[in-house]
Amino acid sequence: MELLCPSAKRRRSEDLAAGEPPPRATEATEAANLGPTTHSKEPPPPPDAGGGGDVDRISGLPDAVLGEIVSLLSTKEAGRTQILASRWRHVWFASPLVIDGSDLWTKPKIFTAANEALASAVSKILSAHPGPGRRFCVPPHYLHDRPATVDAWLSSPALHNLQELDFWEGKHMVHRYGRPYPLAPPPASTFRFSATLRVSTLSKCELPDSSVEGIHFPHLKQLGLENVSLSEGSLHTMISSCPVLECLLLNGIFGVGCLRISSNTLRSIGVGTDFDCYRDNLHRDNLQLLEEVIIDAPCLERSLYLGSFKPTNFIIISAPKLEALGCLNNDWFERTRLVFGTIIIQGLKVVSLTTTLSSVKTLAVASHNMNLDTVIELMKCFPCLENLYIKSCISGENRWRHKHRDFIKSCDIHLKKIVLSYRGIKSQINFASFFLLNARELELMRLEVGNTNYNEAFFAEQYRMLQMEKRASRGARLHFTNKACSHRVHVNHVRDLSVADPFECME
Amino acid sequence: MSESELAVIKPEALKTYIWLQCFDGSIQQVEEEVAMFCPMICREIVKNGTGSSKNHAIALPERVNPASLSLILDYCRFHQVTGRSNKERKSFDEKFVRIETEKLCELTSAADSLQLKPLVDLTSRALARIIEGKTPEEIRDIFHLPDDLTEEEKLEPLKNINDDPRIRLLNRLYAKKRKELQERHERQKLKDVQVQKEQKDERSLDELLCFINGDGGSGGRATKSKKKNKRRKDHAKNPPKADSEPLDAEGAACVVPCKVDSSNVSRLPCQNPDMQDDAEYPFEDADLDDGLDPAMKEELDREVEDFARRLNSVWNESHIGGNGPVQRFSGFNHR
């Protein structure tokens, strides 16, 4: 196989031969490693552009800044900056290394061949780059298929001081084996970066108790465990080894029935089991799904449920800053039970309510029999609700003029945004018009319609049927979209837990 | 009086101003709390005591031109106010970097020399967004970079990533097969086709295959879609009986042990190959003999054959449509 950039290496050795120390690589390495941008020496003046006012103003930036910019690009594009101009030839080498397997995934999608190509590309890049590492992301099945290779990669100097480590698939590389394979523990070198890791995802592996003993992640802010088998003790050990943990994603973990988490720094938590994780692991002996989550987190802002195959209990002991909650679910296999102080919500039914939760501003709900009565009861729990996402179809009569006139008179509805799927049937018209005619602060009602209804005639008719001229909030807009949102919660990677509104469809 | 008391009662008139001098000689004054937001200026004031009067203005680094300075001061002025919400700050930042690319570069440079890291981060991200998704030619054009590399130098890094002979071979075979299938598809469209009565089955191919591959235990789950969290109101209520026979061959064929050396029992992925974006994939009609040994070639042939078999069935399903016939692909001769 070819060596990478022989001329770059040649140049560096020429520099050494001339007696100069290899300046840029080490300087930038140190600069990039430290927190603040220690300002760099004045860079060489930009090359003479020749004609007119077309001056190259970017090449004049110091190496550290250019390196930072390059590290924000996708892996392929970052590598490609080497061919932009002579000034840029070594910028990539001096920038913190980002290897994202999903960027390098080549066609064709014949799996073994693409896999080989990716693995060899990763090896090549690692052997060429001096480090330090910023992010390393490869598919989790490598842990099972080629553990020795993964171990070698993680031990490479190019990944020195790695900040983000993901064994993660991403949607481009999704691979489903015909037969589930045994989950292997990650190589010990995975924990080599404990001192510098900020973000980490482990998938499709097993974490025996011994592997997590004595670990410590002083800077880890975001942790994702997807399709991981581990004991309850190990999970608690892992979490408590992260003193600054802000986002925790547990998607399809096995072996833990109850998670108790007490954290002063936790801001966002997402739990669930997606179908593929579940199916791939049906054969396991300890198919213990997460059924109960007990949270004591004074800084918690988002508590997210990604769906599962067993009802899940959420017991929130303390979360005074909780702003986003959902998706609360009433379907039998993934029903949620939320206990928050004196509030108990079973499915979507408010069983007990003494004091309300005024911090919650965003709520997502789903149920096979979603109707207005249910929603109004929930609104009584969350009086300051601003964003409401109805993630299933609305049914029921939804008559409200008489039934809910007390509620309308006594409570201010602070809703600003409502999103629901819509066909124009009577029950949905009643539902939607309740909010249009009574929510005085409403800004947006987004109706997700099918393609057949996505036309001006339909919009005009609905405008009339929903009595928009009599709307309570003059600023309210009716927005139709034909992009059906198939996800209830938009969380694929632990990074998504830091998004303020995870129910909003970004596509 | 304590510092905090002073801070509280200080009226507008008593505000302290700091004097800054750009490299071109121009001097301007700015409120102290705004200037202090910049680490470099802050250090000058505290350590060297400069900036308190016009004659002792702080000399700013060469890379800070007046236009950039003005932008930087706007940034500082906004962000040094404590009461602002994260949303407000984010919104300000987004608007702040919507400036001409040239100005953005100058701003980055100036922010870096003043060691204002948050602003350097912000502008770097903006520049990365500009670069992202563009070809090298476009990038050179936008930033007026000199095109001063030799052709050879330009090819080196690219070759290394994509230079896998197996990939090239597979690409060629893949493109060839696809062409053949396309032609067959065209011919079939012209013929009179027998319309088989077929149950409209909305599940993806993947689910059905996986059901057949022995996940019977999941029962009702099998009717769920493969996509994450996708929920359908109208689950296909019909059991897969009707389709299981013709698909048996598919299912069996899918589990093909390919590799001999490594431990995985892999099979082709259960997903619809993405047709559209392969069209532009280049393949040269050079000789297929890349020096691969016969065993590897055979393995590859088998893979492509399996792949093509699946390709055919998926093509039929998705292109002829749910009401059309499901032509079984029988026999494939690629030699």
- Give the ipTM: 0.72
Shortest Cα–Cα distance, A217 to chain B (Å): 25
Residue with the bigger pLDDT between A245 and A397: it is A245
pLDDT at B1: 54
What pLDDT, on the 0 to 100 scale, is given for residue B318?
45
Please identify among residues 240-299 of chain B the ones whose CB lies closer than 8 Å to any CB of chain A. Answer: 254-255, 258-259, 262-271, 273-274, 277-278, 281
Q: Which of B103, B228, B296 to mutate to test the interface with A (most CBs of A within 10 A)?
A: B228
Structure tokens at A499: 């998004």
Q: Which of A3, A7, A37, A175 to mutate to test the interface with B (most CBs of B within 10 A)?
A: A37
Nearest to B265 by CA among B250, B251, B254, B255: B255
CB distance from B29 to chain A under 8 Å?
Answer: no
Q: Which of A65, A82, A84 sits opposite B108 (nearest CB)?
A: A65
Contact B161 A104 (CB under 8 A): yes
> Does the pLDDT of residue B264 top 80, yes or no?
no
Beta-carbon contacts of A196 under 8 Å, excluding residues fewer than 6 positions away, are A161, A162, A163, A219
Residue A478 has a CB neighbour count (10 Å cut-off) of: 16
Give me the pLDDT at residue B282, please: 32
Residue B8 burial class via C-beta count within 10 angstroms: exposed 0-12, middle 13-18, buried 19 and up: exposed
| Residue B76: band (very low, low, confident or very high) from pLDDT cuts 50, 70, 90 | very high
Please, what is the average pLDDT of chain A?
83
Residue indicated by tokens 């706007």: B74
Instruction: Say how far apart CA A194 and CA B258 lie, in whole Å.
Output: 37
Count of A-B CB contacts under 8 Å: 233
Mean pLDDT, residues A275-288:
72
Average pLDDT rounded to a whole number, residues B73-102: 90
Q: Mean per-residue pLDDT for B124-148? A: 90
Residue B122 in tokens: 């912000």
In chain A, pLDDT over 70 holds for what percent of residues? Answer: 84
Between A122-136, A359-373, B77-91, B229-243, the lowest mean confidence (pLDDT) is in B229-243
- Least reliable range by pLDDT among A237-246, A258-267, B185-194: B185-194
Predicted local distance difference test score (pLDDT) of residue B203: 57
Comparing A331 with B236, the larger pLDDT belongs to A331
- Of the two residues B331 and B204, the one the predictor is more confident about is B204
pLDDT beyond 70 at A191: yes
pLDDT at B271: 36
> Which chain A residues are Cβ-neighbours of B159 within 8 angstroms?
2
Predicted TM-score of the model (pTM): 0.70
Give the nearest chain A residue to B210 (CA atoms): A178
Interface check A282 vs B, CB under 8 A: yes
Residue B202's pLDDT is what? 52
The amino acid at A47: P
What pLDDT score does B188 carry?
Answer: 75
- pLDDT per residue as tens digits for the range A204-249: 888 999 888 889 999 999 999 988 989 999 999 999 999 999 999 9
pLDDT average, residue stretch B70-99: 90
CB-CB: which of B105, B154, B230 is closest to A61? B105
What is d(CA B224, CA B221) in angstroms, rounded to the nearest whole number? 5
B232 CB near a chain A CB, below 8 Å? Answer: no
Query: Average pLDDT for residues B30-55, to the nearest whole number?
Result: 86
Q: Please state, as a whole number, how many other Cβ atoms lie within 10 Å of the Cβ of residue A241.
A: 18
Average pLDDT over residues B125-149: 90
More confident residue, B2 or B113: B113
| Cα gap A187→A144, rounded to integer Å | 10
Cβ–Cβ below 8 Å for A282 and B215: yes
Average the pLDDT over each of A68-72, A494-498, B24-28 and give the range with the smallest value. Answer: B24-28
* pLDDT exceeds 60 at position A461: yes
Q: How many CA atoms lie within 13 A of A88 on its CB side?
A: 28
10 Å Cβ neighbour count for B3?
7
Q: What is the pLDDT of residue A369?
A: 87
A507 against A340, higher pLDDT: A340
Q: Are strands B17-21 and B27-31 parallel, antiparallel or unpaired?
A: antiparallel
To the nearest whole Å, the CA of B266 is away from the closest chain A CA by: 6
Give the E-state strand segments of B70-197 in sequence order: none
- Average pLDDT for residues B186-201, to the nearest whole number? 59
pLDDT digits (tens, 9 = 90+) for A3-39: 334 444 444 444 333 333 333 433 333 333 333 444 4
Angstroms from A71 CA to nearest CA on chain B: 9
Alpha helix positions (H), A72-215: 75-80, 91-94, 101-104, 111-128, 141-145, 147-154, 209-212
Query: pLDDT value at position B260?
Result: 37
**Measured on CA atoms in the order A190, A194, A196, A201, is the torsion positive or negative?**
positive
Q: Residue A328 pLDDT more than 70?
A: yes
B266-316 pLDDT, tens digit per residue, is 333 333 333 333 333 333 323 333 334 455 555 555 666 565 555 444 544
B159 reaches A (C-beta below 8 A): yes
pLDDT band at B189 (very low <50, low <70, confident <90, very high): confident
Instruction: State residue A32's pLDDT score.
Output: 38
Distance from CA of B144 to the nearest CA of A (A): 5
| Residue B228 to residue A275, Cβ atoms within 8 A | yes
Cβ neighbours around B166 below 10 Å, total = 20
> In angstroms, rounded to a whole number, what is the distance separating the alpha carbons of residues B75 and B92?
9
Contact between chains at A2 and B160 (C-beta distance less than 8 A): yes
pLDDT digits (tens, 9 = 90+) for A125-163: 899 898 899 999 998 888 888 889 999 999 999 999 999
In chain A, which residues have their Cβ closer than 8 Å to the Cβ of B125? Answer: 72
Is a pLDDT exceeding 70 seen at residue B63?
yes
Number of neighbours of residue A36 by Cβ within 10 angstroms: 10
Mean pLDDT of B309-330: 42
